[in-house]
Amino acid sequence: MPEHKDGGPSVGSDVPRPEPLQTFFRVDEIRREDGRIRYVGESYVPERTLLRKLVQPFRDAGYDVDLEVTEAGHVVVATPFDHGRDGVPWLNVVMFVATVCTTLFVGAYGWYYIGWEEITANPLTILQAWPFTAAVLGVLMTHELGHYAAGRYHGISVSLPYVIPFVFPFGTLGAVIRMRGRMPSRRVLFDIGVAGPIAGLVATVVVTVIGLSLDPIRVPAELANASGTMIRFNNPPLLGIIADLIGQPTVYEDPTLTAHPVVIGGWVGMFFTLLNLLPVGQLDGGHMVRAMLGPRQETIAALVPGALFSIAAYLYFWRGLGIDESVGLWGFWGLFAIVIAFNGPATPADEERIGWPRLAVGLATFGLGALCFLLVPIQVISG
């Protein structure tokens, strides 16, 4: 079995040779290219079967594996990965600190009604908004850490969460993690995909209960009695259900009172859960439906942009709402769905079905996600 590096010395003994590779694949040549190991030869079994048998042994050896078909035959490509982290993840830390600052400022100015003059005179006054920051970042980080924990459990190389700082209305655009390498199976893809929404929904319910149990805050009289326009965040059904179960109001007869800003953390958790459960591309819903239905997921994904554009059109033409009253929101997500649907879903190596227990969990998760939906999340009210 010849082993060589193109134009260079022979390949060393550190090259992994798992038993399934030797059993189901005729290796004619092994070479290193760009840090990858390429096994050139011919498969004795169908390509999908070969890949399914090779994924786990190579993963145990520290490699992601893929299969290419060339004119010369089959090429098994092994790419090394690192399960651990070297040093301090500075980018994650910097983005997290920046998001803490933006959520503190937005919380203080927008939700605790601390004036700009007071903030500029004493910037530390934004620390009064720490419950808002803890609530918003708590639900977002719990969601992403659900993915992270599931990925690590299954031996998938995943990054720590990246939290994205922003300005109004929440001080953040959410959080993401990066997964490296191909999913070994539909079961692993499902477990990682569903772990985030489940963890996030649990955190969302806890934060919402805490927020509704806290005393409302008082809106400054000059704002409560001011004329003009006001932005209202409508309650999704899940928030109303939680409020009814614990016997707490979400609105108050006194116009100078409003729900505690911690409730907004629950609202953010519900809204981001809903968006993440859209069954397209690399979103959580896309991973889950790809695992649940296989390649048929792409048919469903193709319908999502049209559905979102239809919601925007309905609100604009039939409800008479403006672009800034959720019409633009659904239109933007329709465009975003086109982009991520174009990039395609994950393609697990093993297409074995996930089984009824996981299907039931998936359906229950989508059901809870549906309770986070409402046609008009954001509405502009004229005073």
Provide the mean pLDDT of the chain.
85
| Pair (65, 196) in one structural domain | no
| Pair (111, 59) in one structural domain | no
| Pair (39, 146) in one structural domain | no
Residue 1 in any domain: the answer is no
Q: How confident is the model over 346-376, as pLDDT tens digits? A: 788 778 889 999 999 999 999 999 999 999 8
Residue 188 in any domain: the answer is yes
Query: Model confidence at 183, in pLDDT bands (50, 70, 90)?
Result: confident
Residue 302 in any domain: the answer is yes
Residue 247 in any domain: the answer is yes
Q: How many CA atoms lie within 13 A of 262 on its CB side?
A: 22
Q: How many domains does the chain have?
A: 2
| Pair (239, 134) in one structural domain | yes
Residue 374 in any domain: the answer is yes
CA dist 171 and 132 (Å) reads 10
| Pair (25, 149) in one structural domain | no
What is the mean pLDDT of the segment spanning 133-162? 90
Q: Is the pLDDT of residue 70 over 90?
A: no
Residue 312 in any domain: the answer is yes
| Pair (375, 338) in one structural domain | yes
Residue 14 in any domain: the answer is no
| Pair (60, 108) in one structural domain | no
Query: Model confidence at 33, in pLDDT bands (50, 70, 90)?
Result: confident
How much of the chain, in percent, has pLDDT values that exceed 90? 43
Strands (E), the chain: 25-33, 36-43, 63-70, 73-80, 157-158, 162-165, 172-176, 179-180, 217-218, 229-233, 257-258, 378-382
The residue behind tokens 């040549």 is 29
| Pair (96, 154) in one structural domain | yes
| Pair (206, 295) in one structural domain | yes
Of 30, 48, 80, the residue that ends a domain is 80
Of 80, 103, 129, the residue that ends a domain is 80
| Pair (266, 343) in one structural domain | yes
Long-range contacts of 215-223 (CB under 8 A, 24+ apart): 215/260, 216/252, 216/257, 216/258, 216/259, 216/260, 217/112, 217/113, 217/257, 217/258, 217/260, 217/261, 218/256, 218/257, 219/113, 219/255, 219/256, 219/257, 219/258, 220/113, 221/256, 223/113
Query: Model confidence at 156, in pLDDT bands (50, 70, 90)?
Result: confident
Maximum average pLDDT range among 44-53, 55-64, 226-235, 279-288: 279-288
Residue 340 in any domain: the answer is yes
| Pair (99, 76) in one structural domain | no
Of 33, 52, 80, the residue that ends a domain is 80
Query: Model confidence at 381, in pLDDT bands (50, 70, 90)?
Result: low
CA dist 264 and 74 (Å) reads 54
| Pair (25, 151) in one structural domain | no
Range of the domain at 124: 90-382
> Which stretches within 154-185 are classed as H helix?
none
